[in-house]
Amino acid sequence: MKKNYLVNSAIALGVVSLIGGSAMAVNAATRRNGVHDFGGFNQTKGQVTPRTPLTAAQIATMKANITAIQTALNNNDYNAWVTAMTVQNPNSPLLKTMTADNFSAYAAKYKTRAADMTAQQTKMTAIKTALDNGDYSGWVTAEKAVNANSPLLIKITADNFASYAQANKLQEQAATIMKTLGLDGPDMGQGGRGFMGGVR
């Protein structure tokens, strides 16, 4: 019983890690005109670690391998998954805990989670579309689909919706400017200075 619980926990954690990690990796790989750099604030030394840019070839390889992992999961292909995961990270703990016997359950959880994330993204896109179009009724419907008890549904009315939509547009413009200035990374600490705290 305990063993099954541990295996199921490992599977669930692995699914979330893979989906979240894949999304971040793909997003990172396409950041700043296709050039991603690793680095950030070193808490021990209290300084920023120098950045090492990835080449276009490295980014392409990363994307291709993430796609290979996802394809293997979608096809329930254990051997292909092992191959792709080994290329991605030969020291991944999943390679030690995942076997041909429990891989099907892992793949099924991945597909369910991926579908949930796609559905959530669709809902968020509907909210953005309504805001961009100044469509209050459409925004209410989209917001309810995400959270029927959202406090925004009380605070934002037909009378002040235009201002809210404008605030969101200004926030997007500010984010674009920050990115152009190279200040879009988490190590830049915008949130700590109160900037871009989020309208939503």
Q: What is the 3-state secondary structure (H, E, C) of the chain?
A: CHHHHHHHHHHHHHHHHHHHHHHHHHHHHCHHHHCCEECCEECCCCEECCCEECCHHHHHHHHHHHHHHHHHHHCCCHHHHHHHHHHHCCCCCHHHHCCCCCHHHHHHHHHHHHHHHHHHHHHHHHHHHHHHHCCHHHHHHHHHHHCCCCCHHHHCCCCCHHHHHHHHHHHHHHHHHHHHCCCCCHHHCCHHHCCCCCCC
The pLDDT tens digits for 91-141 are: 999 999 999 999 999 999 999 999 999 999 999 999 999 999 999 999 999
Q: Can you give the pLDDT at residue 54? A: 81
Note the pLDDT of residue 71.
Answer: 95
Split at pLDDT 50, 70, 90, the class of 63 is very high
Average pLDDT of span 51-58: 82
pLDDT digit string, tens, across residues 17-38 = 554 455 444 444 444 444 444 4
Confidence of residue 44 (pLDDT cuts 50, 70, 90): low
* Long-range residue pairs from 195-198, CB within 8 A, at least 24 positions apart, any chain: 196/171, 198/171
Structure tokens at 125: 């896109």
Best mean pLDDT range from 152-156, 183-187, 194-198: 152-156
Q: What percent of the chain has pLDDT over 70?
A: 66
When comparing pLDDT for 157 and 181, which is higher? 157
Q: What's the mean pLDDT in 150-178?
A: 94
